[in-house]
Amino acid sequence: MSNLEDLYREVILDHYRTPRNKGELPPPATCTEGSNPLCGDEIKIFLDVSDGVVNDVRFTGHGCSISQASASMMTAAVKGKSLDDVRAIARRFKQLMTIEEHDGSAPADVKLGDIEALQGVVKYPVRIKCAVLGWNTLLEGLATAQA
């Protein structure tokens, strides 16, 4: 295994063992639930959105290390960002997971930081759903928060 793969594994394990932004936000925060019935992953995303900015984001749930680490990385990446930036980051991540076509809607220069550690998941197609669970739930929550 390459040193880069070792580093990526450590980043994923770090976010799994010491998740960032784990917990709930009190109402009136938006709460959205997602699940992956194939493997049992479940997640809740809590969002505090105002004036077009994600002021705070938290998650709870249980599941595999990939789903939980991805949710942790996601919350760290989007907290304090504008809704446009959050959507661009989410599109870029889904492109990294090869779920969305590269249609130019998320420039390749969108920086993912630690999230890039999840790129090895694409070698295991059944695990891609684990990695994107939190992201899909986040996007659903954003739609609800803006409604």
CATH of the domain at 112: 3.90.1010.10
CA distance 46 to 26: 8
Does pTM top 0.85 for this prediction? yes
CB 16 within 8 A of CB 122: no
Domain span at residue 35 reads: 3-146
The pLDDT assigned to 85 comes to 96
Number of domains making up the chain? 1
Percent of the chain with pLDDT over 90: 76
pLDDT digits (tens, 9 = 90+) for 77-127: 999 999 999 999 999 999 999 865 555 555 667 889 889 999 989 999 999
pLDDT digits (tens, 9 = 90+) for 40-81: 999 999 999 999 999 999 999 999 999 999 999 999 999 999
Strands 30-36 and 41-50: antiparallel
End-to-end alpha carbon distance in the chain: 47
> What pLDDT, in 10s, does the model give residues 18-30?
999 999 999 999 9
